[in-house]
Structure 1
Amino acid sequence: MSTSDRERWDARFGGLGAGEPAPPGALVGREDLVPTSGRALDLACGRGTVAVWLARRGLTVDAVDVSPVGLAAGRELAGATPVHWIEADLDDGLPVAGPYDVVVCQRFREPRLYPSLADVLAPGGLLVISVLSEVGDTGGPFRAAPGELLAAFSHLEVLHHEEGDGEARLVARR
């Protein structure tokens, strides 16, 4: 990711405010799938709303983002809730090692990372991923082709999958 991309995300996060802890969109109504102990990884965590939600459920959380402004907002939101905040460019690969009981990646699409996302899952671990999609949208360089997530994670047990309105979501278990 270039410096201009980091600056763009810093500007975006700087104007959004603190946010509220919340589950990832793909888990709304399925929160019971998430364990209340173990390790979690939140990739491209932005302002940390999911990371803090996971930590408040009892998980030990590593939260990764390229934006120091987003991470600072996450630290503020977390308060005394322990989250390990990691500034890293995911275009360079994962800066952490598993195993993780939960891996979340929302609205960051890098197909080269798909194998790594599955690899860091512990046996029985939960993968929650959402990306922009061509399905129900005009397409573009950052949008997944129809069926991309299903194809990439077909070796996992798919618990939920949907595509439409410009987004693809997948929840799967290793």
Structure 2
Amino acid sequence: MSDDDRDRWDGRYRSLPPAEPDDGRLPTVFQPFAHLFPTDGTALDVACGRGTAAVWLARRGLTVRGYDISPVAVAQAGVLAQRCGCTGASFAVADLDDGLPPGDPVDVLLCANFRDRRLDEAMRYRVRAGGLLAVSALSEVGATPGRYRAAPGELRRAFSTFDVIASGEADGQAWVLARR
């Protein structure tokens, strides 16, 4: 990612108020399925932002590693985890243009509001057998096409080797929840 992109994301995160302990939650589209997320094991939060979903997963009992391009977001995620007493959540800066950082397969892979088709294969292989994949992205469905928007049916196709639990596309957002 370019320095301009990183600076833009840093500026966006600087402009937001600090996340509060009660902000730790799953992205809205996955909240009806919260009961399907495991209460132990490991998780990867790709493009974790301020860490609200990672903190929710850690509070649930998972050991979570979150990555984001923005050092500001990663610092805020660390502060949120500390304020929540989440010793099972850790965060690091990573340029996802270089691919997923190396690591073992996980029980949960969450990627919310971020889309890079080049990561699909690595994401599929990063989820262990029986693990859960939760991906949401901007969509062309109900919105205008764009570089970072998923085409109609794209997420279901990208993760078609998984057992889809639920998915949707509307109002400019696409999402899929699936088990490997």
Could you say whether these structures have the same fold, taking a TM-score greater than 0.5 normalized by the shorter chain as the test?
yes
- What is aligned with 1:40? 43
| Secondary structure of the structure 2 residue equivalent to 1:124 | strand
User: Contact 1:106/1:131 (CA < 8 Å) preserved in 2?
Assistant: yes
Note the C-alpha offset of 1:58: 0.5
**How many pairs were matched up?**
174
User: Contact 1:137/1:166 (CA < 8 Å) preserved in 2?
Assistant: yes
Aligned-partner Cα distance in 2 for 1:136–1:92: 30
Structure 1 unpaired stretches of 5+? none
Note the C-alpha offset of 1:13: 0.5
Note the C-alpha offset of 1:95: 0.7
Equivalent residue in structure 2 for 1:74, among 72, 77, 89:
77
Q: For 1:46-98, what per-residue CA distance to the aligned partner results, in whole angstroms no more than 9, with x for missing partners?
A: 00000111100000000000101001111111113121211100010011322
Q: 1:138 to 1:172 in 2, by over 3 A?
A: same
Note the C-alpha offset of 1:8: 0.4
Q: Counterparts in 2 of 1:2-21, with a 5 A limit?
A: 2-19=2-19, 20-21=23-24
Structure 2 unpaired stretches of 5+? none
| Secondary structure of the structure 2 residue equivalent to 1:114 | helix
4+ residue segments displaced more than 4 Å: none
The one-letter code sitting in structure 2 at the alignment partner of 1:68 is: P
